[in-house]
Structures are given as structure tokens and as C-alpha cells.
Amino acid sequence: MYFCTSKKRIKMSVLVGKKAPKFAAPAVINGGEVVENFSLEQYLGEKHVVFFFYPKDFTFVCPTEMHAFQAKLEEFKSRGCEVVACSTDTHDTHWGWLNLDKAAGGIKGITYPIVADSSKTIAMNYGVLNGEYGYNDENEWTATSNMIAYRGLFLIDKDGVVRHQIVNDLPLGRNVDEALRYVDALQHFEQHGEVCPANWVKGDDAMVETHEAVADYLATH
């Protein structure tokens, strides 16, 4: 889908209901170990995945999100859900940031994988790159912005299908508890076949959606 303005064409992606785009890229795992060909495919059939993008290493809002996900990591894992981060920085930059203490703005202590999308192709494929490449009138290669990732988050099921996505602008940090709530809602639906109403949290009553109920609603509205 494209949204057209008088100045440029902006691509918008909705991946819900579709297979998550595949990739193999360097990543830093376990707080300091570099792997060359990290892929989400290792979780297929076994785990749910919360895959989130953040704009840039060594910034201000980003470390608050990184530490917030780490603080809740065991809760995600207890649900059979892996957390994976990604930015357009290099794996060397990730490694350096991981070696900087939290008090100094670093993310020392983060143990979930951090993918290095230095080619920016992963962010492009997930529709969260905040700009476009093109050519100017002199046929020179240009970019419309600094080409970093928006704060995109994707909940991917065991079949590799995106079941939830949200994209925040650069200044807007995310609510990690809300990400956990979506994991709970998806897993409740998968296990019980019940749909989750507004503001549902784990332990609340859910709803049984039937064809008869939908037909009755349509007949009276």
C-alpha cells in the first residue's frame, strides 16, 4: 500500500495475517556473543516471538525500552515466547553498547538477541524504515531521512505468521506490559478458541464467537 503526497510516496506495510519476512543477519546474543546468521526460523514450531525494532544504539529512549524488555524477559519466556530486538546499527556497535553500564546510558545486562540490520533490508521488509532511497535530478543516490527504524513491534506465532503489529514514531517509547498482554491474548485464543474483548488481561473472562451470534447481530443492525 502506498500513501501519496505532493512531495513523496510513503510505503506502509500491514503484515498481520502474513508470514513474517525471513532474514539471516549478524546478531549479538547472550550479552556479548556474536553469531553471523541469526534467523527467526529457529523458533518455528516451537516458540512465539516478540520481534521489535528500535531506532539507534547509544540514544536516550532506546535503553529504557531495552531494559524494560529485559526486566520482563522471564515472563515472556515462561509463556514460551522469545524476545528479539533489531536496529540498523552494526553488530560491533551493539557489542559496544552492551559493554556500557546502565548508569552511563548503556545496556549491559541485556541477554536477548539484538540483530544488526546494517543493510537496512530487514527494516524495509517489515515496513518500519523511516525513509526511502532514490535518485535526485543529478542521478545521485539519495535518502529522504537518516534511514533508521521506527519503533515497530511484531508478535509472531509458532507458524511464523504475524498476529499483531504496532509502530511508534521515534520519540514514543512502548509499553512492555502491553506487549506481554498481547502474548497472553493470542495464547488464550489459541488454547481455548475464545476471543479477547477490549482491555482483557490474563485471568479475565473471554468471549465465544459463533457464526450464529454474528448472523443475529447482522440481522438486527
Positions marked catalytic: 62
Distance CA 162, CA 33 (A): 28
Match 504475524 to its residue by C-alpha cell. 162
Q: What CA–CA distances, in Å, run from 76 to 16, 18, 37, 79, 160?
A: 21, 23, 24, 5, 17
Retrieve residue 57's grid coordinates. 544504539
Residue 114 to residue 83: CA distance in whole angstroms: 9
Buried b (16+ CB within 10 A) or exposed e, 79-99: bebbbbbbbbbebebbbebbe
CA 151/CA 65 separation, integer angstroms = 10
- The closest of 115, 59, 129 to 82, measured between CA atoms, is 115
Please state, in angstroms and rounded to a whole number, the distance separating the CA atoms of residues 186 and 77.
15
User: Exposed (0-12), middle (13-18) or buried (19+): which is 196, by Cβ within 10 Å?
Assistant: buried
